[in-house]
Amino acid sequence: MGWFGRKKQLTPTTEEVAHRAIALCHVVSYALVIPERDRIKDPATLPPDEQARFREAAKRMRDEFWALLGTYTGALTPWERTLADTTMFDMEARQQVAASWRIEAFQVLMWALGPIDELPEWNQRARHELVDAPLYKLGPKFVTKCRLRPSRELEAARSMAEVWHWRSRTRQLIEEGRAFDPSPEMTKAGLGSFDAIVRFTAKKLKESGELAQIVDEDFAVGGKAYRDLSAEEFAVVTSITVERHFALNWLCGRSPENRWDETPTDT
C-alpha cells in the first residue's frame, strides 16, 4: 500500500501511558470486585419487589464505582465504557474474564512507567494486590512522577513478547495437527517440522542471550520445556503472553492512531 493511505501510528506519551494505567487499574478492579457469574443469584428468581431492589442497588454500586475515576473517565476506551455500563447482573462472563486478565497488561504499563522494576517470569500471574491501591487517588502526583523507559528497552521487551507469543501459536498449530509446509531452504537446513523450527529458534535465542535458559531445545518455563507444559499451564502462559504482547505493542506505537482497543498482536 505504501505510506499513503496507511493508518497513522503513534507512540503514546508518558502522560498518555499514565492516564491509560489509571483507567486500566479501575477496569481491572471492577472485574475483580464483581462476583463471578456462577456465584451471583439470578434476581429473576426473586419476588418482583425484591428483584427491583437488587437491581437498583447494583446500579448504585456501579455508578458510585465509576464516578470515582473523575476526570480520568475520559481515558476509558470504547470497550471499557461498555464494561462500565454493566452491573453485576448483566456483565457477561467473557467481559469479566477479559477485563480481569487485563491486569497483565496493567503490570506492563507499571513496569514501563517505572513503579515496577522488572516483569516476572512468563508463568507467574500478576498479583491482585497490584490494583489494591487505586491510582486515581494519586492523580496528577502519579502522572508527574512517572518516567517512561527508553524506547529501546520497550522495543526489546516487545520483541521478546512477540517471540513468546509465536511459541504459543506454534504449540497451538502442533496440537491442532496443522501440516507444516517447509520452503526448500528449510528442508535443506533440516527444518521439516514445527518442532524442528522451535528447537532451532530456542538454540539461536539462547546463543544470542535473548533467552536466559532453554530446556530440551525449547523455551524454559518454570524449569520445564514449553512443549511439556500441562494444558492448564499452557493456558496461563499463553494468556500472560498475549496481554504483555498487547500492551507492549501499544507502547511501541503499533496501534492505529494509538487506539488501545485496536492493538494488533500478530506474530
Q: Cell 482497543 identifies what position?
A: 261
The whole-angstrom separation of Cα 89 and Cα 221 is: 38
Contact 27, 102 (CB under 8 A): yes
pLDDT for position 36: 76
The whole-angstrom separation of Cα 198 and Cα 219 is: 8
Series of mean pLDDT values for 10-residue runs along the chain (267 residues): 46 96 98 78 69 88 97 97 94 95 98 96 96 94 96 97 98 95 90 95 96 97 97 98 98 95 95
Residue 171 grid cell: 504449540
Q: Cell 474474564 identifies what position?
A: 97
Residue 197 grid cell: 523450527
Q: What is the pTM of this model?
A: 0.91
pLDDT for position 44: 66
